[in-house]
Amino acid sequence: MHALTHAVVEPLVPAVALRAAPRLLRTVADCRAFAAEHHAAGRTVALVPTMGYLHDGHLSLVARAREEADVVVMSIYVNPTQFAAGEDLDTYPRDEAGDLAKATAAGCAAVFLPTTDVIYPRGHSATQVAVPALQQTLCAVDRPTHFPGVALVVTKLFNITGCDVAVFGEKDFQQLAVIRRVTEDLNLPVRVVGAPLVREPDGLAMSSRNVYLGAEQRREALALSQGLFAAEGAWLAGERDADRLKRMVELRLQQAHGGIIDYCAAVDPDDLVPVTGEVDRLLLAVAVRLGKTRLIDNVRLG
Ligand code: AMP
């Protein structure tokens, strides 16, 4: 009886029907005009940069961005300069229609959908943006060109969209650290906000790349979050030794079959330098390859 009443009342007004379709921005001039209009009216603009194939992790960033600014622009662009040769640039999952429906439901005022001609009109950028101090550890060891590509495109997206605020997920912790440092060092007029990592109900960190996983790999992938949760449990019970906490994660990863551990690290959350012995805060971060799919996850303690 109760369930029936609930079912009749709930779906009458789907949230999506309340939202206007976002404005589609294709060019730098479109973005500049959008920001100028809102700034002239005294409204602040938040940017949520993504590569599309949206999931609830991305949408949580939009929700956070709406709290931080008056209007939200989402960019959807699979940036070639952050992929090395042999990585998944060509097969990266795409779903423009699905993404636009999700961006609409989430309340984006605009979606920036540039082509590579718009972002790199000369075919490449002669100018580089890099933070060497943060780019020799964790993911940068196996992907040395990744963060310079990210730093370059995000700097361009900040300048193109004229955003006042930009929201990034703590899922990509090293990316967030790099962007914070670029923004500070180059005096970019953007407030960078980090938002919590969003997980599937069974603990797997949401990622557009999860779609690559076969059923067996999807099960094996749980070792990442399970290892991190085990360490988090120990931390909450009073364990403060970084090496023992890291070892707990490693042990769980080693028990899983088939995965190759790219790294399992205990680092300082700000400068990403490895920590050892007694600590009062740390970031445990892992990267594991399951077949061709590389998964990352982390947990911040303290
Ligand atoms: P991507 O589309 O993978 O480039 O990610 C775009 C933004 O979404 C980045 O700021 C990511 O950190 C963030 N993001 C991706 N997955 C998650 C997640 N599971 N939880 C929170 N943020 C995420």
**Is 124 a catalytic site residue?**
no
Q: State pLDDT tens for residues 8-51.
A: 444 444 454 568 999 999 999 999 999 999 999 999 999 999 99
Give the C-alpha separation, 39 to 191, whole Å: 16
- The residue whose C-alpha atom lies closest to atom 22 belonging to ligand 1 is 169
169 lines ligand 1 (CB under 6 A): yes
- Domains parsed from the chain with CATH numbers: 16-195 (3.40.50.620), 213-301 (3.30.1300.10)
Long-range Cβ contact pairs of 232-241 (< 8 A, separation 24 or more) = 232/299, 232/301, 235/301, 235/302, 240/278, 240/279, 240/280, 241/277, 241/278, 241/279
Give the closest residue to 118 by CA, choosing from 160, 81, 154, 147. 160
- The residue whose C-alpha atom lies closest to atom 8 belonging to ligand 1 is 58
Phi, psi values for residue 76, rounded to 5°: -125, 110
**Structure tokens of 121?**
């009109």
Distance 169 CA to ligand 1 centre (A): 5
Q: What is the pLDDT of residue 257?
A: 72
**Shortest-distance atom of ligand 1 to CA 53:** 2
Q: Would you give per-residue pLDDT tens digits along the chain (302 residues)?
A: 333 334 344 444 445 456 899 999 999 999 999 999 999 999 999 999 999 999 999 999 999 999 999 999 999 999 999 999 999 999 999 999 999 999 999 999 999 999 999 999 999 999 999 999 999 999 999 999 999 999 999 999 999 999 999 999 999 999 999 999 999 999 999 999 999 999 999 999 999 999 999 999 999 999 999 999 999 999 999 999 999 999 999 999 998 877 899 999 999 999 999 999 999 999 999 999 999 999 999 999 99
Supply the pTM of this predicted model: 0.94
**Structure tokens of 59?**
């949408």
Distance 175 CA to ligand 1 centre (A): 10
- Pocket test of ligand 1: the residue of 55, 59, 61 to mutate, having most ligand atoms within 8 Å of its CB, is 61
Considering the candidates 2, 39, 58, 124, report the single residue annotated as catalytic. 58
Give the closest residue to 299 by CA, choosing from 284, 287, 286. 284
- The residue whose C-alpha atom lies closest to atom 14 belonging to ligand 1 is 169
298 lines ligand 1 (CB under 6 A): no
The stretches of 162-257 forming alpha helices (DSSP H) are 173-185, 215-220, 222-236, 242-255
- The residue whose C-alpha atom lies closest to atom 18 belonging to ligand 1 is 57
205 lines ligand 1 (CB under 6 A): yes
